[in-house]
């Protein structure tokens, strides 16, 4: 997604050097439509510069800091020397992520998505998450819930979530749920203990999944699952609650599963 406006002073931008002159270099701004900036020779690198071409090459991708924007003169002044290695690395990664998100938008809504629809959906994600990539990432982790504060339609949300879960790689996702366990016969403590052991897996939990059951307050227990993806985490959470329920019911007890913590006693 290319922005139609102007960059702001102090902003870091990704560009491509498209012309080198003795007095500096011209940079095509890759994130903005039809915008080009000038980096004066004094802003190319620290220290005295004899030849600009010793420091930059045509078609080189760079990260620059915006020093000044004069819309009336159609001029953007840039600095290359004011960007450190850490900033450069982070900005390039951010730019790459947005290019991925750009492809995901086409996957979600078709390659022939209109400019108007793209702008409407993209700007909604930007306003809510700060970037389109973050919007897709949150959709991969939290599903429809991640997009509930947007103005997107139900169909648009479904399309984004489906694409996100197919494409976004996240380190792990974490989900939690709660199960209320009650046993009424004489060996109730043992029955609940066996139900908790069942909830923890009894060897049925995949190696890549971390599952933890903790006591919250009678009769409530928290099940926390960490997994490589949202679908796996949700299925393992529900399976854990079902195992606990099956075990406690064998002993004449009851189990009630819910996603939010019960705060009635607080």
Q: Where are the domains of the chain?
A: 12-81, 86-167, 173-258
pLDDT of 59 above 90: yes
Mean local confidence (pLDDT), 1-15: 90
pLDDT of 234 above 80: yes
Pick left, alpha or beta for residue 176 (phi over 0 → left; psi -120 to 50 → alpha; otherwise beta).
beta
Residue % of the chain over a pLDDT of 70: 97
Spatial contact of 161 and 147, defined as CB atoms under 8 Å apart: yes
Mean local confidence (pLDDT), 5-29: 96
Report which of 109, 102, 101 is spatially closest to residue 157, judged by C-alpha positions: 109
Q: How far apart are CA 90 and CA 171, in angstroms?
A: 18
* pTM confidence score: 0.62
Mean local confidence (pLDDT), 190-217: 88
**Tens-digit pLDDT profile for residues 172-184:** 888 899 999 988 8
Q: Which CATH number fits domain 173-258: 3.40.50.720, 3.40.50.10860, 3.30.70.1130, 2.60.120.590?
A: 3.30.70.1130
Q: What is the pLDDT of residue 170?
A: 73
Q: Per the CATH hierarchy, to which homologous superfamily does domain 12-81 belong? A: Nucleic acid-binding proteins (2.40.50.140)
Give the least confident one: 30-34, 134-138, 151-155, 250-254. Answer: 250-254
Label each residue of the chain as H, E or C. CCECCCCCCCCEEEEEEEEEECCEEEEEECCECCCEEEEEHHHCCCCCCCCHHHCCCCCCEEEEEEEEEECCCCEEEEECCCCCHHHHHHHHHHHHHHHHHHHHHHHHHCCCCCHHHHHHHHHHHHHHHCCHHHHHHHHHHHHHHHHCCCCCCHHHHHHHHHHHHHHCCCCCEEEEEEEEEECCCCCHHHHHHHHHHHHCCCCCCCCCCEEEEEEEECCEEEEEEEECCHHHHHHHHHHHHHHHHHHHHHCCCEEEEECCCCCCCC
Q: What is the pLDDT of residue 266?
A: 43
Give the CATH class of 86-167.
mainly alpha
């Amino acid at each position: 997604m290319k922005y139609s406006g102007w960059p702001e002073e102090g902003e870091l931008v990704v560009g491509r050097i498209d012309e080198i002159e003795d007095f500096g270099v011209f940079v095509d701004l890759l994130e903005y439509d039809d915008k080009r900036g000038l980096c004066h020779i004094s802003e190319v690198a620290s220290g005295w510069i004899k030849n600009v071409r010793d420091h930059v090459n045509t078609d080189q991708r760079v990260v620059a800091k915006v020093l000044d924007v004069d819309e009336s003169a159609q001029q953007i002044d840039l600095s290359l020397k004011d960007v450190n290695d850490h900033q450069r690395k982070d900005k390039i990664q951010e730019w790459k992520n947005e290019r991925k998100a750009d492809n995901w938008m086409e996957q979600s809504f078709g390659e022939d998505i209109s400019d108007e629809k793209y702008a409407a959906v993209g700007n909604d994600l930007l306003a809510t998450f700060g970037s389109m990539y973050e919007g897709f990432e949150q959709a991969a982790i939290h599903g429809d819930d991640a997009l509930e504060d947007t103005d997107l339609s139900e169909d648009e949300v479904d399309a984004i979530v489906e694409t996100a879960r197919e494409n976004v790689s996240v380190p792990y996702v974490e989900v939690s749920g709660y199960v209320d366990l009650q046993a009424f016969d004489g060996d109730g403590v043992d029955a609940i203990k066996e139900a908790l052991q069942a909830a923890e897996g009894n060897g049925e939990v995949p190696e890549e999944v971390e599952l933890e059951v903790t006591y919250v307050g009678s009769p409530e227990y928290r099940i926390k699952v960490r997994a490589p993806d949202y679908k796996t985490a949700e299925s393992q959470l529900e399976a854990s609650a079902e195992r606990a329920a099956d075990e406690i019911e064998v002993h004449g007890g009851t189990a009630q599963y819910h996603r939010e913590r019960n705060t009635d006693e607080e």
